[in-house]
Chains A and B, each alone.
Chain A
Amino acid sequence: DTAVSQTPKYLVTQMGNDKSIKCEQNLGHDTMYWYKQDSKKFLKIMFSYNNKELIINETVPNRFSPKSPDKAHLNLHINSLELGDSAVYFCASSQDKRAQTYEQYFGPGTRLTVT
């Protein structure tokens, strides 16, 4: 009964390739997020979707494109992968209800290594 799940858990790929990461939540939440955690463990928001609508779009290269087919799923597609994209990518979700929006639950992460 995993709350927020991500696939794959590990992703090793070469520069220039295109890859996707998938996220699913079974918490009934309205809002989903993508975060990036760098090698120093600094966690930074990239995108958020509320009921399939893009809400937050931080300063992220347009090689990164999120897609939300429904409110329980949020995918991240990355084109033309670069060495600097190597990081751990976390999906999270929350209710869309004032203070509860900030009560976010994270998935296990996808460790992306670009060689």
Chain B
Amino acid sequence: QKEVEQDPGPLSVPEGAIVSLNCTYSNSAFQYFMWYRQYSRKGPELLMYTYSSGNKEDGRFTAQVDKSSKYISLFIRDSQPSDSATYLCALGKPGNTGKLIFGQGTTLQVKP
């Protein structure tokens, strides 16, 4: 069983839709939770970062962490064609010297 599971999609939505992207994990030692966005043939770009349960909001993006269920989500409101990319969750354990464990990534397409 992989430490971090993420549905690879692809996920296709119309412009303006609310998008929900999710990851589950198996090890409760994970305390740091990141979402990266990766456009085609580009490097991953850090989008959201949280290290506690609950919600964190930044513009149209909301990251949610539920440690009891070992489940993290990224919500995108009013999705735009420019949001079309692969979204990767990444998790870290304290004292693990920066080692991030990535999900497989979900490919999102927002159609105009």
Contact = CB atoms under 8 A, between A and B. Distances in A.
Nearest to B43: A106
A90 interface: yes
Interface in B1-39: 8, 32, 34, 36, 38
B102 A99 contact: no
Given A41-B105, A99-B51, A109 B98 contact: no
Chain B: interface size category: 20 to 34
A34 interface: no
A95 B104 CA distance: 25
B110 interface: no
Contacts of B46: 103-106
B63 interface: no
A94 interface: yes
A94 B98 contact: yes
Contacts of A104: 34, 46, 98, 100
A68 interface: no
Given A56-B99, A99-B51, A43 B42 contact: no
A48 interface: yes
B45 interface: yes
Nearest to A43: B102
Contacts of A90: 43-44
Interface string B91-112: 0101001111010110000000
A92 B88 CA distance: 15
Contacts of B42: 108-109
A25 interface: no
A49 to B, nearest CB: 10
13 contacts: A31-B98, A42-B102, A55-B97, A94-B98, A98-B94, A102-B32, A104-B34, A104-B98, A105-B46, A106-B46, A107-B43, A109-B43, A111-B41
